[in-house]
Chains A and B, each alone.
With several copies, the nearest count.
Chain A
C-alpha cells in the first residue's frame, strides 16, 4: 500500500489486475453469426485497451444496430504512483474570521466578488452554494463573510453583461459557473469569457475563477482563467483562495488585480 510504488487494479487478490468495462458498439446482435462477430469486436476493443484475458459477460442487442457489452478482465498496465503529480493546494484553508481579518487589514475595504452562471446555463445551485449565506456542506457561503461584498447575477448571464457589471462594481474577482458540458459548452463559454475580460479590461481585469462539476482543475491556464474549482468545492476553499490570490500576495509583490489599484486609490 505504498504511496510511491507500483500498483495494479485489485479484484480480490493483490495484483490480479481485474477491471470492469462497459460500452456500446454500433454492431447488430441478431443471428448467431452477428452475435459472434459482435462479441469478437468487443473483445478486440478490450484487447486494445490492454485487457487480457477479457471476458464478455453480457451482451445485449439494442434495436437492430447496436449492442451493449459488459466485459470483465485483467489489465497488465502498471500504475506508477510516483508518477502521479498531485498539485497540492497552493493555499491554506482559513477560518472565516481569519479571511475577514486579512481582507480588512490588507485592503481596508470589502473585497468585491461578482458571480454568474454564463451562457445559457441555468444551473445556479452550484454557484449559489458558494455565494449564498446558506452555503454548502455545512459551510456558509461568501455572502456570510463580513468583508466580502457579493454580487450574484444569477443564471444565463451574457458575457457582455458580466464584463460590464464587473467593471461597474470594481470587482476584485469574477466567479463563473458552468454545469452543462455537452459539446464542451463549458469550455467554449469559459474561453469566451476570459477573452472578453482581457480585451475589455486588459490588465485591469479582475481575478477570474471558474467552477463546475465537470471541469478539470488543471485546465485553468488553457482556458485563460486564474483558477478552476471542481465538484465538491466548499465556500471556505474559495474564500481562502481569494485571500491567497488577492490579499496575501499583495505585500510579497504577487499578481495584483490592477482594477484594485485604482479602487484602492480612489
Chain B
C-alpha cells in the first residue's frame, strides 16, 4: 500500500500518541477491576459448562453464590477451588449445583490453602487455555489443508433465529462465494447477563450465541470448507454483558473472528461504560491467545450520526480500538477495524467522499484487516436502488483495498435477509470484484484534489477531537455524546453492579495467563 493521499506521517504519529494518552486511564481501570463475566469466563475456561433446569448456567450460579458470601474483589478462583478441595468435590459442576442450593461453603483461603487453591485453579484453567491453543493449531491445519482465500474476504450474515435454518443458509452462502459467515444474535441477547445453553431455534432477528450453536455451525462450515477447498471463517459477537465469556467460548469452539468493540455496548446497548471497558480488555486477551480476529463497530456510529459530519469520530474510535487492542495483546493482523459506507446517496460526490474515507483508513492502518460495512441507513424499500448502492460499496471496497467486505443486502430496509437476497448479494460482489478488482491501480487521486483534501480534513478533525478527549477524559467524552451522538454517563447503563474493584491479592489464573502471554 503506497500512500495515495500524501498523509503527513508526523500527524499520523501524533494521532496515535493522543489515542494512547486518552486510553491509558481506562486501561488502568481495567487492570484494577473485575466483573462477574470476567470471573465466569475464567470458570468456563476451567471447564464449567451447562445450566440448571431454568437454563441458568452453572457459571452464573457459582459466581453469584461466591459473590454473596466472600464477594468478588479477590476473584472467584480462590473461594471456588478452595471449596472444591475442602468439600471434596469431583468437579466444578458438582460444586456449582451445591452452591446454587446453598449447600456449599465459601471463604477466602489464606496461606497454604490459598496456595493450593491457586495451584488447582491454575491447572484447570490451563487445560482450557491449552484447548484454545489446540483449536488455534487446528485452524492452521484446516487452512493448510483447504486454502486461505485471498482478500478481500466476503463476509455474509445469516439471521434466521433458528440454528437449523442458519446452517443450510450458511452453507449455501459459502458455496456461492462467502469467505466468512456471521451468525447474527437474537436482539435481546446482549442484555442477558448469562450465556444461553444448547442449540436454539427461536431468536428474534438473529440466533442466540451458545456454545452448542457455535459448535454446530463450525462443524457445518468445516464440511463445506473441505467440500470447497477453501477455509470458510465463522464469526459471532463477543459483545454485551457476557463479552468475556463469549470470547472464551469462541476460542474453545474455534470461531475465527468476533465482533468486539471497546465502546459499541456502551453506545448502542446502554451497557455501563466501566463494565464494558473491563470486559473488553479480558475478552481481547482471550482473542489474542485464540488467534481470533476482532471486528470493531465504528460503522454503527454512522447510523445515528451523519456519515459526513461524523467521519472523524470513526477514525478516533479506530485509533482507540487499536490502542486498546494492542494493549491487550492483539497483533495488528487481528485488528479488524470497522468502518462503513453510510453517506446519504443524495449528497453530491458521495462516492468520492466514501473513497476518501476508506482510503484514509486504509493508509492509517496498513496492516489491519479492515472490515468495511455496507450501506444500511439509506437503504429503503426500493430494492433496486439498494442493489445499486451495495454495488458501489463493493466497488469502494475493492478500489481502496479493504480486507473484509460485509456484503450488503438489497432488502436491508425491509427484513433480515432472505436466502435469495444473500445469493443476489454475492452475485453483486462477485461481478464487481471480477470486473473492477484491479481498478484501484488506476485510482490515483489528484494530490490536492477533492479526495485527498477530504481525507486530510478528516484526519485533522480526528486529531483535534482526540486532543479534546485527552483533556476531558474518555469517560466524560462518552457521556457528552461524542460517539454516535448518544450520551452515556459513566455511572449509567446496565451491568455496573457486576463491576468490582480488585482487592490486593485478587487472583484470576486466566487473567494471569493472558497477561503473561503478552
Which residue in B160, B188, B380, B424 is a CB contact (below 8 Å) of A12?
Answer: B160
In the complex, the answer to whether A63 meets B168 with C-beta atoms within 8 Å is yes
Known contacts A62-B420, A62-B423, A155-B270; A185 and B161 CB within 8 A of each other? no
Which of A18, A119, A154, A180 sits near B418, CB closer than 8 Å?
A: A18
Closest residue on chain A to residue B414 by CB atoms:
A57
22 A-B pairs whose Cβ atoms sit less than 8 Å apart in the complex: A10-B418, A11-B419, A12-B416, A12-B418, A18-B418, A23-B420, A24-B418, A57-B413, A58-B382, A63-B172, A65-B168, A120-B187, A120-B204, A124-B304, A155-B270, A156-B269, A181-B415, A182-B204, A182-B415, A183-B204, A185-B204, A185-B205
Is residue B87 contacting chain A, with contact meaning CB distance below 8 A?
no
From B172, B191, B202, B381, residue with most partner A Cβ within 10 Å:
B381
A66 x B172 contact (CB < 8 A): yes
In the bound assembly, the distance between CA atoms of A122 and B493 in angstroms comes to 13
Q: Does any Cβ of B come within 8 Å of A33's Cβ?
A: no
Closest residue to A158 on the B side, CB-wise?
A: B191
**Bound form: Cα–Cα A13–B204 in Å:** 13
A221 to chain B, nearest CB (A): 25
Identify the closest chain B residue to A185 (Cβ). Answer: B204
- In angstroms, Cα B175 to Cα A124, docked, is 36
CB distance from B228 to the nearest CB of A (A): 12
Q: Is B390 located at the chain interface by the 8 A CB criterion? A: no
Given contacts A20-B383, A60-B382, A155-B270, contact A12 B204 (CB under 8 A): no
Q: Does B303 contact A (CB under 8 A)?
A: yes
User: Which 5 pairs from chain A and chain B are nearest by CB?
Assistant: A57-B381, A120-B188, A58-B381, A63-B172, A182-B205
Which residue numbers of B lie inside 8 Å of A, CB to CB? 159-162, 165, 168-169, 171-172, 175-176, 186-188, 191, 202, 204-205, 268-270, 303-304, 380-383, 411, 413-420, 423-424, 486
The reply on A107 being an interface residue by CB < 8 A is: no
Tell me the total A-B contact number using a CB cutoff of 8 A: 102
Q: Say yes or no: B382 contacts A122, CB within 8 Å.
A: no
Excluding A13-B165, A22-B420, 7 further A-B contacts by CB distance (< 8 Å) are A14-B165, A23-B420, A68-B420, A119-B187, A120-B191, A180-B205, A185-B205
**In the complex, per-residue mask of A100-139: 1 if CB is within 8 Å of any chain B CB, else 0:** 0000000000000000000111101100000000000000
Name the contact of B187 in the complex, choosing from A10, A23, A185 (C-beta under 8 A): A185
CB of B423 within 8 A of CB of A13, answer no
Measured between beta carbons, the chain B residues less than 8 angstroms from A65 are 168
Cβ contacts under 8 Å, A66 to chain B: 172, 419
Residues of A within 8 A of B416 (CB): 12, 182
B-side contacts of A125, CB under 8 Å: 303-304
- B419 in contact with A122 (CB, 8 Å): no
Query: What's the Cα separation between A56 and B381 when bound, in Å?
Result: 8
Q: Which residue of A lies closest to B423 (CB)?
A: A62
A155 — which chain B residues lie within 8 A by C-beta?
270
For B175, the chain A residues whose CB sits under 8 A away are: 63
